[in-house]
Amino acid sequence: MRILLAVDGSRYSADVVDAVLSRTETGLVRVLSAVAPEQALVTDSSRPDLSGAASTPMKATEELVKWVADSLASHGFDAGTVVKPGDPREVIVTEAENWQADLIVMGAYGHSGVRSRQIGSVAESVAKHARCSVELVRKQRTASRHDA
Protein backbone atom coordinates (compact mmCIF):
# COMPACT_ATOMS: atom_id res chain seq x y z
CA MET A 1 0.00 0.00 0.00
CA ARG A 2 1.25 3.47 -0.92
CA ILE A 3 0.40 6.00 1.79
CA LEU A 4 0.80 9.74 1.34
CA LEU A 5 1.20 11.19 4.82
CA ALA A 6 0.51 14.94 4.87
CA VAL A 7 1.98 16.85 7.82
CA ASP A 8 2.06 20.54 8.54
CA GLY A 9 4.12 20.87 11.71
CA SER A 10 1.11 21.63 13.88
CA ARG A 11 0.63 19.93 17.22
CA TYR A 12 -1.81 17.58 15.45
CA SER A 13 0.84 16.19 13.10
CA ALA A 14 1.97 13.74 15.79
CA ASP A 15 -1.54 12.24 15.82
CA VAL A 16 -1.37 11.73 12.05
CA VAL A 17 2.00 9.99 12.36
CA ASP A 18 0.64 7.82 15.20
CA ALA A 19 -2.27 6.78 12.95
CA VAL A 20 0.18 5.41 10.39
CA LEU A 21 2.40 3.80 13.05
CA SER A 22 -0.61 2.00 14.51
CA ARG A 23 -1.18 0.05 11.28
CA THR A 24 -0.50 -3.66 11.51
CA GLU A 25 1.20 -3.76 8.12
CA THR A 26 4.10 -1.61 7.07
CA GLY A 27 4.29 -0.20 3.59
CA LEU A 28 5.58 2.56 1.39
CA VAL A 29 4.99 6.02 2.85
CA ARG A 30 5.71 9.41 1.33
CA VAL A 31 5.78 12.17 3.93
CA LEU A 32 4.58 15.40 2.33
CA SER A 33 4.35 18.97 3.46
CA ALA A 34 3.38 22.06 1.49
CA VAL A 35 4.85 25.49 2.12
CA ALA A 36 2.83 28.52 1.08
CA PRO A 37 4.60 30.32 -1.80
CA GLU A 38 5.07 33.50 0.21
CA GLN A 39 6.89 31.47 2.88
CA ALA A 40 9.07 29.41 0.54
CA LEU A 41 12.27 31.40 0.41
CA VAL A 42 14.41 30.62 -2.60
CA THR A 43 18.05 30.41 -1.70
CA ASP A 44 20.59 31.87 -4.09
CA SER A 45 24.03 30.34 -3.65
CA SER A 46 25.67 33.44 -5.14
CA ARG A 47 24.48 35.57 -2.20
CA PRO A 48 25.47 35.08 1.42
CA ASP A 49 22.79 33.57 3.65
CA LEU A 50 21.92 36.37 6.03
CA SER A 51 18.93 34.75 7.68
CA GLY A 52 20.35 31.35 8.57
CA ALA A 53 19.11 28.53 6.34
CA ALA A 54 17.71 26.48 9.21
CA SER A 55 15.36 29.31 10.11
CA THR A 56 13.63 29.51 6.71
CA PRO A 57 10.16 27.96 6.51
CA MET A 58 11.24 25.69 3.64
CA LYS A 59 14.30 24.42 5.53
CA ALA A 60 12.33 23.89 8.74
CA THR A 61 9.67 21.98 6.80
CA GLU A 62 12.32 19.81 5.14
CA GLU A 63 13.72 18.98 8.57
CA LEU A 64 10.22 18.11 9.84
CA VAL A 65 9.39 15.68 7.02
CA LYS A 66 12.83 14.06 7.33
CA TRP A 67 12.31 13.56 11.06
CA VAL A 68 8.86 12.00 10.43
CA ALA A 69 10.24 9.73 7.68
CA ASP A 70 13.11 8.62 9.94
CA SER A 71 10.61 7.82 12.69
CA LEU A 72 8.50 5.75 10.30
CA ALA A 73 11.59 3.97 8.96
CA SER A 74 12.61 3.01 12.49
CA HIS A 75 9.25 1.21 12.73
CA GLY A 76 9.74 -0.75 9.50
CA PHE A 77 8.12 1.57 6.97
CA ASP A 78 9.81 2.42 3.67
CA ALA A 79 9.52 6.20 3.96
CA GLY A 80 10.52 9.03 1.67
CA THR A 81 9.95 12.77 1.80
CA VAL A 82 8.78 15.61 -0.38
CA VAL A 83 8.32 19.31 0.36
CA LYS A 84 6.66 21.49 -2.23
CA PRO A 85 5.69 25.14 -2.37
CA GLY A 86 2.01 25.81 -2.94
CA ASP A 87 -1.48 25.65 -1.54
CA PRO A 88 -1.76 22.45 0.53
CA ARG A 89 -5.17 21.66 -0.98
CA GLU A 90 -3.64 21.47 -4.43
CA VAL A 91 -0.23 20.09 -3.49
CA ILE A 92 -1.65 17.09 -1.59
CA VAL A 93 -4.13 16.08 -4.29
CA THR A 94 -1.60 16.51 -7.11
CA GLU A 95 1.14 14.61 -5.28
CA ALA A 96 -1.24 11.75 -4.46
CA GLU A 97 -2.25 11.48 -8.09
CA ASN A 98 1.27 11.77 -9.52
CA TRP A 99 2.71 9.28 -7.00
CA GLN A 100 -0.31 6.96 -7.41
CA ALA A 101 -1.07 6.85 -3.69
CA ASP A 102 -3.60 4.32 -2.43
CA LEU A 103 -4.37 6.38 0.66
CA ILE A 104 -3.86 9.92 1.95
CA VAL A 105 -3.57 10.26 5.73
CA MET A 106 -3.90 13.76 7.11
CA GLY A 107 -5.24 15.71 10.05
CA ALA A 108 -8.70 17.20 10.30
CA TYR A 109 -8.61 20.04 12.75
CA GLY A 110 -12.31 20.70 13.09
CA HIS A 111 -12.38 24.35 12.01
CA SER A 112 -15.95 25.43 11.55
CA GLY A 113 -18.06 28.48 10.98
CA VAL A 114 -16.66 31.71 9.58
CA ARG A 115 -12.99 30.69 9.78
CA SER A 116 -13.61 27.52 7.76
CA ARG A 117 -15.52 29.41 5.08
CA GLN A 118 -12.84 32.09 4.87
CA ILE A 119 -9.77 29.91 4.58
CA GLY A 120 -11.41 26.74 3.31
CA SER A 121 -10.81 23.38 4.86
CA VAL A 122 -7.74 21.64 3.50
CA ALA A 123 -9.08 18.27 4.69
CA GLU A 124 -12.48 18.87 3.12
CA SER A 125 -10.96 19.92 -0.19
CA VAL A 126 -8.58 16.96 -0.31
CA ALA A 127 -11.36 14.49 0.57
CA LYS A 128 -13.53 15.98 -2.15
CA HIS A 129 -10.93 16.06 -4.94
CA ALA A 130 -8.59 13.11 -4.27
CA ARG A 131 -8.90 10.07 -6.52
CA CYS A 132 -7.80 7.72 -3.75
CA SER A 133 -9.10 7.08 -0.25
CA VAL A 134 -8.51 9.73 2.40
CA GLU A 135 -8.17 9.05 6.12
CA LEU A 136 -8.80 12.10 8.29
CA VAL A 137 -7.29 11.88 11.75
CA ARG A 138 -8.91 13.90 14.50
CA LYS A 139 -7.39 14.63 17.87
CA GLN A 140 -9.33 12.76 20.51
CA ARG A 141 -10.87 15.15 22.99
CA THR A 142 -10.04 14.49 26.58
CA ALA A 143 -12.81 14.71 29.15
CA SER A 144 -12.87 18.00 30.95
CA ARG A 145 -14.34 18.81 34.32
CA HIS A 146 -17.47 20.09 32.53
CA ASP A 147 -18.08 16.69 30.89
CA ALA A 148 -18.34 14.84 34.20
Give the pLDDT of the chain (148 residues) as one tens digit per residue. 999 999 988 878 889 999 999 987 888 999 999 998 766 544 434 334 444 445 588 899 999 999 999 999 999 999 999 999 999 999 999 999 999 999 999 998 755 544 444 445 899 999 999 999 999 998 765 555 455 4
Q: Comparing C-alpha atoms, which of 8, 36, 43 is closest to residue 51?
A: 43
Closest CA to 86 of 3, 8, 5, 4: 8
Number of domains forming the structure of the chain = 1
Nearest CA-CA partner of 81 in 99, 92, 68: 68
CA distances (Å), 29 to each of 20, 25, 56, 84, 120, in order? 9, 12, 25, 16, 26
Angle at which helices 57-73 and 13-21 pack, to 10 degrees?
Answer: 20
Query: Containing domain of residue 72, as a range?
Result: 2-42+49-147
CATH number for position 137: 3.40.50.620
